[in-house]
Structure 1
Amino acid sequence: MLKRILSTPIIAALGAVIAGAQTPAPASPAGVASLRGIVTDSLHEIPLRGALVRVENTTREAVTDSLGRYRIDSVSAGQHRLLVIHPLLDTLGISLVTQPMSFAAGDDKEIFLSVPGNETLVSLLCTAARRALGPAALVGFVRDADTEAAAQGAKVSLLWYESDPLGFKKTPRVREQQIGADGRYRICGLPETMNGKLQVFRGGVQTGEVPVELGGTSGTNLLAMRSMSISSTSQVVASASTDTGAKTTIVRGRSRVTGKILNKYGQPIVGARVELQNTGAATKTRANGDFTLDSLPSGTQTLEIRQLGFAPTEVAVELSAANPQNVTVKMTDYVPVLSEMRVTANREHGLSDVGFADRKKSGMGYYLDADQLKTRQTVQFSDMLRTVPGVRVQPGGNGTNVITSSRNPTGGCVTFYVDGAPWQQMTPGDLDTYVRPEEVAALEVYNGSTTPAQFQQPGLTGCTTVVIWTERRINRKR
């Protein structure tokens, strides 16, 4: 006998409001029943694939297929509740279970289950006081990448910019939360639409910056979810304090990532630079587009890929010493996009955020902003440095130039930082291959002891240091 129950309510462990459910009439406990149906993810408006549907306190269960369908046979007659288990619910930090339902011998019930939608979940996860600050929320779980346990004591930091109505002025907003014993975080009261960056910090180690978006193209996505992981065994090999008191670190570990870099047609890109954000670890792709990076910190990290003719690309990866990661990245063609008034306004705020403006006021180095760089009309990046005091630019072959210190007659050492991170040269002069002049928003040049602590490397304190800030870093959405 087929009986259908539509949209069976699901109870969230943290206290959802339950509507009345249609249930069949009581029947004899003897014999067995069966049930089938579909589980829907109302949050993303798609079937919930891979969900475990279990009859509570029994061994009867089933996993949903690609269409969200499930079927469970041999259910004993009597009162039962259904449990839904899925990683999506783990990320949300909720447990879902139906109200008790009666099953009679011979019943064949069709039961449709659904995970609550955006507004319902936000109302469950956030207090009314927090929702009054903003209708959206960001939730997730932070684990230890090496032990899989909750990363207790870590700090989650969300950074975004709020723009004025004309989009000229950006005001930074930061929300942070400590991770407790359950490993979960919940940031409520966020704006309806937002583009931000999420990071996790613990014990001098940090993850890569992961993009977070609220609103989307439809403007209806009020709940974002992002689980992260951070290492507990990685080693800090270098650390320095910035002008603002924050610390920059270089970290090494036992993780490995391999992969392939392709163009939009699926063809390999040769010689693309692949770097793990904030670590200094970098390599170039081989003739078949393959790359390998070793000795990396585990956890949520970000790969940055660059090659002339292509838009710089960032990809989040989950690294583990136990399970090497493999990724395939498709790069898109580089297309300059300029809106002069907006870019100029954003650039000024961006340069202030990274400390450029304050360091320029100190007068300890040589500084070039975008307006000064624009007048140089250079073809290659290195040409921007030709008239900079203390720097020598010489031909290096293959159309590139080698940058050395003019303060040493034999060619003194020069260290580079791009967007605040150390730049490891694969070959002398490779900056001309990976950084376009029109990408550069500002330059800082220091000689020896005048170099700020955050741009010094152990054993290289006497070197000339060139700090490059790109338009992408200064004007990026947050």
Structure 2
Amino acid sequence: MSQQECRTSPVDSTGYLFGTFRRADGDRRPTTGTVRVEWLELLVSAGSVTRQVVAHEGQAAADGTYVICGVPALATTRVQAWSGRDSTGAFDIEFPTSGIVNFDLTVGRTRYVREQFDSTVSSSDTMASVWLRRGSGRAVGVLRDPIGQPLPNATVTVAGTGQSARTNDAGRFELVELPSGTQLFEARALGFEFLRTPVNISDADTTTLSYALSRRVLLDTVKVRAIRAAAMGRDMAEFESRRRMGIGKFFGPDELSSIDPIRLSDLLFRVPGVRVVPAMGGDRILMRGFGMGAYCSPDLWLDGMRIAYVGSMDSFIPPQWLRAVEVYPRAAMVP
């Protein structure tokens, strides 16, 4: 589909993603493949609001060009592409008011490594391991603060690889065994905004990266006084009632504001018995099951409805949408 056909397409959303699909090897030749774009939408029907993941796919032409139509303006989308057995990583693209984004993709060699993360469980138990994306790519770089000074002791990683490093006193880092192609690079440091940005990892050469992290803006404390039950509403009043029972782990508005999690996994990482492990589609959330020796994927309920999700919770629920979170380690503990 061409850009002109996107403009005349009768779909509700009028934005589109377009670019060129290339190999990540030395000549960066155009190639064919599939590009997938997905985002979260709210559906209002029969007096209820539900959330669903909407996905559009498109094929790159023989010259490597691709167009994905029907993407809403101002949406945060998850993008991934593949060609044969090779693929990019999964990464986010935010669409502007115009709804139009030009983004070139590179796809390269990827191998998959199964990594055991808990020695108390049999190596044949699939719940005790994750698949990670690896390759022969290498990235070196430097992180700086807003005035250009080196940023030491920051953590950097490429999502879905399980490979991470810390910057030295000069702000420099090195990551190895990376899958080539477009991948999601992440960097975090105490007191600075979390950086997540797509990068192109080469098969042929070392990739050089350089970023400046923005300082987090801390506002003065704002105190609000109100009658608690009336201010919270029924749902929050019931939340506080369950919290007083002392069963489970609870994060209310005050805790969420204090922690200010960037991803849901940042919040659940603080819960005893919860494991956050890197996986291909994003960090995977696992909880210790019965017998205290095995881990399993937890059930997820949102506003009283059970949510079916695949892979990472991080791609499904932005923490900024949450007012409160309850975590119960056993089904019998759920009120």
User: Counterparts of 2:52 and 2:136 in 1: how far apart (Å)?
Assistant: 38
Question: Structure 1 residue 191 and structure 2 residue 51: aligned?
Answer: no
2:24 aligned residue: 145
Match of 1:228 among 100, 105, 112: 105
2:294 aligned residue: 450
Aligned partners of 1:280 and 1:421 also within 8 Å: no
Question: What displacement does 1:335 show?
Answer: 4.3
Question: Structure 1 residue 251 and structure 2 residue 130: aligned?
Answer: no
Question: What displacement does 1:205 show?
Answer: 4.8
1:41 aligned residue: none
Distance 1:226 1:176, change over 3 A: same
TM-score by length of 1: 0.45
Larger radius of gyration: 1
User: Counterparts of 1:284 and 1:315 in 2: how far apart (Å)?
Assistant: 17
Match of 1:475 among 314, 318, 331: 318
Question: Structure 1 residue 237 and structure 2 residue 117: aligned?
Answer: no
TM-score by length of 2: 0.62
Question: Structure 1 residue 306 and structure 2 residue 197: aligned?
Answer: no
Question: Structure 1 residue 136 and structure 2 residue 15: aligned?
Answer: yes
Match of 1:270 among 138, 144, 152: 152
Equivalent residues, number: 260
- Quick one: which amino acid aligns to residue 182 of structure 1? D
Question: What displacement does 1:175 show?
Answer: 0.8
Matches within 5 A, 1:346-425: 368=249, 370-371=251-252, 374=255, 384-385=270-271, 388=272, 416-417=276-277, 421=282
Question: What displacement does 1:282 show?
Answer: 0.5
- What RMSD in Å do the two structures reach over aligned CA positions? 4.6
Question: What displacement does 1:297 show?
Answer: 0.8
Distance 1:373 1:194, change over 3 A: closer
3-state DSSP class of the match of 2:317? helix
Match of 2:38 among 155, 159, 168: 159
Match of 1:320 among 197, 202, 210: 202
Structure of higher RCO (CA pairs closer than 8 Å, 6+ residues apart): 2
User: Counterparts of 1:448 and 1:160 in 2: how far apart (Å)?
Assistant: 36
Aligned partners of 1:207 and 1:299 also within 8 Å: yes
Question: Structure 1 residue 178 and structure 2 residue 54: aligned?
Answer: no
Question: What displacement does 1:298 show?
Answer: 0.7
Distance 1:175 1:368, change over 3 A: farther
User: Counterparts of 2:175 and 2:66 in 1: how far apart (Å)?
Assistant: 31
Question: What displacement does 1:259 show?
Answer: 0.8
Distance 1:474 1:367, change over 3 A: farther
Distance 1:322 1:476, change over 3 A: farther
- Quick one: which amino acid aligns to residue 145 of structure 2? N
Question: What displacement does 1:300 show?
Answer: 0.5
Aligned partners of 2:286 and 2:297 also within 8 Å: no
Question: Structure 1 residue 212 and structure 2 residue 93: aligned?
Answer: yes
Q: For structure 2, which runs of at least 5 residues remain unmatched after alignment?
A: 117-128, 223-230, 237-246, 260-265, 299-310, 321-335
Question: What displacement does 1:199 show?
Answer: 1.4
- Quick one: which amino acid aligns to residue 274 of structure 1? V
Question: What displacement does 1:163 show?
Answer: 4.4
3-state DSSP class of the match of 1:332? coil
Aligned partners of 1:373 and 1:384 also within 8 Å: no
What is the CA deviation profile of residues 18-56 of structure 1, one whole-angstrom value per residue up to 9, with x for unaligned ones?
xxxxxxxxxxxxxxxxxxxxxxxxxxxxxxxxxxxxxxx
Aligned partners of 1:262 and 1:329 also within 8 Å: yes
Question: What displacement does 1:310 show?
Answer: 1.6
Aligned partners of 1:204 and 1:249 also within 8 Å: no
* % identical aligned pairs: 23
What is the CA deviation profile of residues 49-84 of structure 1, one whole-angstrom value per residue up to 9, with x for unaligned ones?
xxxxxxxxxxxxxxxxxxxxxxxxxxxxxxxxxxxx
Distance 1:293 1:223, change over 3 A: same
User: Counterparts of 2:200 and 2:248 in 1: how far apart (Å)?
Assistant: 37
Question: What displacement does 1:368 show?
Answer: 4.6
